[in-house]
Amino acid sequence: MNNNIELCIFDLDGVIVDTAKYHFLAWKKLAKEFGYELTKKQNEKLKGVSRVESLKLILQWAGVHKTEEEQIELARIKNDNYVQLIQTLKPEDIFPGVKNFIFDLKKNGIKCSIGSASKNTKLILRKLKILDLFDYIVDGNMTKYSKPHPEVFLKSSEVLGIKPQNTIVFEDAAKGIEAALAGGMFAIGVGNTEDLPTAHYVISGFTDFSLSRLKETK
């Protein structure tokens, strides 16, 4: 890894907080309405995938056809449910160690940003009380292309004036790792090597992770 680290970009769902469980509940409820039982394994495949694309996948698995108009309505219903579920999010829901790690980075002059597919990013960060922690936030409202396209990460480095090769991305989804690699960034998977085989390096979480450990990664 290039040791000139200037920017760390964090994915949100699955890296900073576990919102996947709420996405699952909301998608499951929606799928039930058209008689389909969504499984946990299928939900894994929706990680990092945008709302509309997630819906299209679920409809495909269910073998159900819906018009574009109906799809917009279904995505709205799902999101209303999801937003209701995440109202209970609080600072204690932030994954252990992440905040300290970000403080460590900032103390050392490294910029930190968010690169998330979620259109609810700011609401979630506000609930977690960490909206002001980041130098820049890129969410699903600001991008044209979904991960694995690198746009969501490149936007941060462009705005902050930092070269992709001096940028590190933390991601829990395979599609997000692909996006970071496509952007020419160093990709750290958060999870396990089996699920994220193309990541440059994989960590199980941020407990015991620090800037000095980051600098040792190869």
CB 25 within 8 A of CB 80: no
Q: Give the C-alpha separation, 175 to 172, whole Å.
A: 9
Q: Is residue 46 within the footprint of ligand B16 (CB under 6 A)?
A: yes
* Three-class secondary structure of residue 120 per DSSP: coil
Which residues within the stretch 150-209 sit at the binding site for Mg ion (CB under 5 A)? Answer: 172-173
Residues 162-181 as b/e (b if ≥16 CB within 10 A, e otherwise) read bebebbbbbbbbbbbbbbbb
> Of 50 and 156, which CB lies nearer to ligand B16 in the complex structure?
50
Q: How far is the CB of 13 from Mg ion (least distance, A)?
A: 4
> Of 14 and 191, which CB lies nearer to ligand B16 in the complex structure?
14
Choose which of 5, 8, 14, 113 interacts with Mg ion (CB under 5 A).
Answer: 14
Q: How far is the CB of 119 from ligand B16 (least distance, A)?
A: 4
**Is 104 in the active site?**
no
What DSSP string runs through 10-38?
E-SBTTTB--HHHHHHHHHHHHHHTT---
> Of 34 and 145, which CB lies nearer to Mg ion in the complex structure?
145
* Three-class secondary structure of residue 188 per DSSP: strand
Which of Mg ion, ligand B16, none has residue 200 at its interface (CB below 5 to 8 Å by kind)? Answer: none
Q: Is residue 156 within the footprint of ligand B16 (CB under 6 A)?
A: no
Q: Is residue 118 within the footprint of ligand B16 (CB under 6 A)?
A: yes
